[in-house]
């Protein structure tokens, strides 16, 4: 019986060691997962901050162009730039903007700022009928989009309402830009965007879009 007890003891010891090692590994994995999640958030926050900064710079460029005597209605948005009144040339955006890692699958090749002369937002602009000119990025990753709203407005990155509702507009509406007859993107029905000249929204077909109003009508 004593021999049997000794053998049982030798069996129990390895089990205890295995449990301890297993617990330690779980702890290590938890820490590693946490670090990766934190790192992902940090990356998204950095990308979000960069995009917000670029949008601010584009707004400044437009303000300077208007101050120099150019009428916003006369400024073109051709790519590649071809005219002295072309915004790409004015802003010297002749190379791809560093947006690639911020773009979601299917939009990786769309790593350039685009422009639309058709955004209406409650409280933005002087005219009740004339839409605003906006610089936009269509196809952002969800994490980047959520962090943009977090950086701008302190919106929780896990908030189910983040990104903001973009109304009835589709991704194609945002990309239509300066096509004659393109639909106006009407955000006046989105109360959360009132007086907000920039933000990240989700289109009606599920695409994340950052907009920055660069000229008000």
For each successive 10 residues of the chain (217 residues), what is the average pLDDT? 38 39 36 43 93 92 92 85 88 64 83 85 80 91 96 95 93 82 81 93 95 90
pLDDT the model gives residue 52: 95
What is this structure's pTM?
0.78
Q: Which residue, 174, 182, 213, 178, is CA-closest to 78?
A: 178
Instruction: In whole angstroms, give the CA distance from residue 88 to residue 80.
Output: 8
Q: Which residue, 126, 97, 124, 118, is CA-closest to 181?
A: 118
Q: How far apart are the first and last CA of the chain?
A: 95
**190 burial via Cβ count (<10 Å: 0-12, 13-18, 19+):** middle
Listed in sequence order, the DSSP H helices in 74-181 are 87-90, 142-153, 171-175
The CA–CA distances, whole Å, from 144 to 22, 46, 50, 102, 114 equal 36, 9, 10, 6, 18
The alpha carbon torsion through 168, 151, 101, 59 (nearest 10 deg) reads: 70
User: Strands, DSSP E only, in 89-163?
Assistant: 114-120, 132-138
Domain boundaries, the chain: 2-215
Task: Give just the sign of the alpha carbon dihedral 152, 50, 174, 214.
Answer: positive
- Residue 39 tokens read as 């790192």
């Amino acid at each position: 019986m004593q021999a049997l007890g000794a053998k049982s003891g030798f069996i129990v010891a390895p089990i205890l060691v295995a449990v301890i090692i297993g617990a330690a590994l779980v702890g290590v994995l938890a820490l590693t997962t946490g670090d990766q999640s934190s790192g992902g958030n940090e990356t998204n926050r950095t990308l979000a901050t960069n995009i917000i900064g670029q949008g601010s710079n584009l707004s400044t460029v437009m303000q300077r162009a208007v101050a120099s005597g150019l009428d916003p209605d006369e400024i073109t948005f051709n790519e590649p730039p071809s005219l002295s009144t072309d915004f790409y040339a004015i802003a010297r955006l002749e190379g791809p903007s560093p947006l690639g890692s911020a773009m979601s699958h299917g939009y990786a090749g769309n790593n350039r700022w685009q422009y639309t002369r058709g955004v209406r937002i409650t409280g933005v602009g002087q005219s009740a009928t004339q839409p605003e000119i906006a610089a936009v990025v269509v196809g952002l990753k969800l994490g980047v989009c959520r962090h943009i709203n977090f950086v701008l407005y302190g919106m929780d990155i896990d908030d189910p309402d983040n990104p903001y509702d973009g109304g009835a507009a589709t991704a194609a509406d945002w990309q239509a830009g300066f096509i004659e007859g393109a639909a106006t993107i009407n955000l006046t029905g989105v109360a959360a965007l009132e007086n907000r000249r920039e933000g990240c929204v989700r289109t009606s077909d599920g695409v994340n879009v950052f907009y920055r109003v660069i000229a008000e009508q």
